[in-house]
Amino acid sequence: MTKARVFKDVETERERLKSMAQQIWETPELGLHEEESMQILVTRLEEEGFDVEIELGGMPTAFVASYGSGDPVVGILGEYDALPDLSQKVKSEHDPVEEGTPGHGCGHNLFGVAGVGGAIGVKRAIERGDIDGTIEFYGCPAEETLVGKVFMARDGAFDHLDAAITWHPGTLNTPTLDRSLALDSIQFTFEGVSAHAAASPESGRSALDAVELLNAGVEYMREHISEKARVHYVITNGGDAPNVVPAEATVWYYVRAPTRSEVERISDWLTDIAEAASMMTQTDVNHRYVTGCWDYLPNHTVTDIIWETMQELGDVGYSADDRAFAADLTETISDHQIEASLEDVPEEYVEEIRNASLYDEPVPPHAEGEVGGGSTEVGDVSWITPTGQFRAATWAVGTPAHTWQATAANGDFGKKGAVYAAKVLGGTAYALLENPSIVERANEEFHEVTGDQRYQSPLPPNIEPPFDLTAK
C-alpha cells in the first residue's frame, strides 16, 4: 500500500473541503472567538468517526480530534482565526465586503480545512487496516496573536505526540527549514494623577510621560541587542485631551529574538526600564504578560518526508482562469515585494518564479539556518516533539501575508491549494505511521539537537488566555 490511496481519499473530499474553506472565509472570526469556524471542522471530523475533545488550554475554540489507537501518534496542526480589518471581495482591486470587518488575509480558512482533509485520508487508511497507530488533528485558535498553541502546550496537549506536521498558505509549494523568532508580548500600564494641564500641572503625575520615557529608554537599549532581535510597540492608550494630565496610559510591546533565552534577557531589561520610568514620573506601573512563544526548530527527518510527498504529488493543477486572476492580483503587488519573496529561493528557480503569476511546482527545502522575521507558536510544538512544516502555493507570486490580495486569493483559487496541502499532510502522516523507524530517527534527531534544553512554557503561572485582545 502506498500514499496514492491516501491522495485518492483526500481527492474524494475535494468539493466538501472547498465548501468548508468558503464557509470559513465568509464568516471570518477573530482569535479565541472562532465558534462557527471551529464547529465547521468539528462537525466534519465527528461525522467521519473521530473522537473530539473541546476546550483545550482553557480556550472554548481549541480542540483535538483522534482516531486509531497505540503508537506511533502523529499530530496535524490546524488554524482558523481571521485578521481585523482585512475584509475583501474576490476581486483584483481593494474592495472590502464590509469596511472595517475581519478577513482571512493569512489563509487560515484554508489552513484548518486542509488539516482536516489530511487527517481524514489517514483515518481511512487506519480503518482499512493499511497502517497502525493514531492520527490526531489539533484545532488551534488565535495563532495571529500567538496564543493558541502556547496555552495548549502549557497544558500538555502535545506531550504524547511522536511527531507533528503542519503547513501555511503562501506563494510556493516548499518545505520549511528556516527558523522563526521567539517572542514575548507584554503590556505596561502606568497609573498617575490627573490634573488640569494648564491650571495646576504641579498636582498631576503623567502616565503618558512614563510611557514616553519607557519608549525612549528602549531606543537606547536597541544598540545592545543582536542584529536579528526586534522590539516594537504601540501606545494603546495615551490620554483623552491635551489639557488633562493623563492618569493612565498603556504601551504594548513585542520582543522578538532568534532564541528563547535572548527574548527573556531583553524582556527583563525592558521591564527594568519600565520600572525606572515609573520612578522618574512618580507613577505606578503594572505589567501584563500577554503571551510568548519559542523559535521554530525544524526536524529534517520529518521535513524530508514532506518533500518526498510533494515530489510524488507534483503541482497543484491550477487552471488558466486561476492563473489569469493571479496575474491580475500580481499587477497590484510592487516589484519590491515580488523581489523580497524571492530572496531565499534557490537560484535555479528564481527567474521562472519571477515570470509566473502563480507558481505551483514543488520547490526543494531551502534557507536552512536562516532566521525569518516572523514568529509562530508552532515553535513551541517543535520543542516538544519532532515537527515539520511546509508552505503551499495558494497566493499570487510575491503576495505578502496579511493583505487584501491574500484575502482575495484565499476566497478563490487558494481553495485548490488547500486540497493539495491536505494531500501533503495526509501522505506525510501516512508515511510516518507506516514506517515507525522514520519516527524513531526523527526523535533521535530531536534529542540530539535539543540536548539538555527542554521546553518550558513561557507563560507565568495561572495566566488565562487573553480573550479581551480580540473581543467582538
Do 377 and 146 meet the contact criterion of CB atoms below 8 Å apart? yes
Q: What tens digit of pLDDT does each residue of 345-370 get?
A: 999 999 999 999 999 999 999 999 89
Q: What integer pLDDT is reported at residue 369 of this predicted model?
A: 87
Quote the CA–CA distance of 291 and 396 in Å, as a whole number: 32
Q: What integer pLDDT is reported at residue 441 of this predicted model?
A: 98
- DSSP E strands: which ranges in 171-300? 174-175, 182-191, 230-237, 248-257, 284-293
**Under 8 Å CB-to-CB from 311, ≥6 apart: which residues?**
362
Quote the CA–CA distance of 307 and 290 in Å, as a whole number: 36
Q: What integer pLDDT is reported at residue 1 of this predicted model?
A: 58
**φ/ψ (deg, to 5) at 188:** -120, 120
Mean pLDDT value across the chain: 96
Nearest in space to 382 (alpha carbons), one of 294, 445, 291, 451 = 294
Q: Write down the residue that cell numbers 512618580 correspond to.
A: 282
Quote the CA–CA distance of 39 and 42 in Å, as a whole number: 5
Quote the CA–CA distance of 64 and 79 in Å, as a whole number: 12
Q: What integer pLDDT is reported at residue 470 of this predicted model?
A: 80
Quote the CA–CA distance of 166 and 119 in Å, as a whole number: 11
Q: Exposed, middle or buried: residue 67 (CB in 10 Å: 0-12, 13-18, 19+)? A: buried
Quote the CA–CA distance of 61 and 8 in Å, as a whole number: 30
DSSP assignment of 58-76 equals G-TT-EEEEEEESS-EEEE
Output the nine-digit C-alpha cell for 249.
496610559
Task: Using alpha carbons, list the distances in angstroms from residue 243 to 196, 199, 356.
Answer: 6, 9, 57
Quote the CA–CA distance of 379 and 294 in Å, as a whole number: 5
Do 124 and 9 meet the contact criterion of CB atoms below 8 Å apart? yes
Full-model pTM: 0.96
DSSP-derived 3-state class of residue 407: helix
Q: Write down the residue that cell numbers 497609573 correspond to.
A: 191
**DSSP 8-state symbol, 452:** T
Quote the CA–CA distance of 387 and 163 in Å, as a whole number: 6
- If one counts every other C-beta atom within 10 angstroms of the C-beta of residue 51, the result is 12
Question: Could you tell me which residues are beta bridge partners of residue 67?
Answer: 135
> Which residue type, as a one-letter code, is found at position 95?
D
Q: Exposed, middle or buried: residue 311 (CB in 10 Å: 0-12, 13-18, 19+)? A: exposed
Candidate from 71-85, 238-252, 257-271, 458-472 with smallest mean pLDDT: 458-472
Residue count (the chain): 472
Q: What tens digit of pLDDT does each residue of 381-421 get?
A: 999 999 999 999 999 999 999 999 999 999 999 999 999 99
Quote the CA–CA distance of 74 and 387 in Å, as a whole number: 10
Q: What tens digit of pLDDT does each residue of 188-228 get?
A: 999 999 999 999 999 999 999 999 999 999 999 999 999 99
Provide the sign of the torsion angle of the four alpha carbons 3, 12, 50, 57, taken in this order. positive
In whole angstroms, what separates CA 351 from the centre of its chain? 29
Q: Write down the residue that cell numbers 507558481 correspond to.
A: 359
Q: What tens digit of pLDDT does each residue of 221-271 get?
A: 999 999 999 999 999 999 999 999 999 999 999 999 999 999 999 999 999
* Whether residue 471 has pLDDT greater than 70: no
Quote the CA–CA distance of 45 and 59 in Å, as a whole number: 19
Nearest in space to 116 (alpha carbons), one of 433, 426, 381, 390 = 426
Q: What is the dihedral of CA 3, 164, 181, 190, to 10 degrees?
A: 140
Q: What integer pLDDT is reported at residue 2 of this predicted model?
A: 82
Nearest in space to 352 (alpha carbons), one of 377, 297, 315 = 315
- If one counts every other C-beta atom within 10 angstroms of the C-beta of residue 89, the result is 16
In whole angstroms, what separates CA 245 from the centre of its chain? 40
In whole angstroms, what separates CA 111 from the centre of its chain? 10
Question: Cis before residue 72, ω within 30 degrees of 0?
Answer: yes
Q: What tens digit of pLDDT does each residue of 91-150 get?
A: 999 999 999 999 999 999 999 999 999 999 999 999 999 999 999 999 999 999 999 999
CA-angle at 117, arms to 112 and 118, nearest 5°: 95
- If one counts every other C-beta atom within 10 angstroms of the C-beta of residue 36, the result is 15
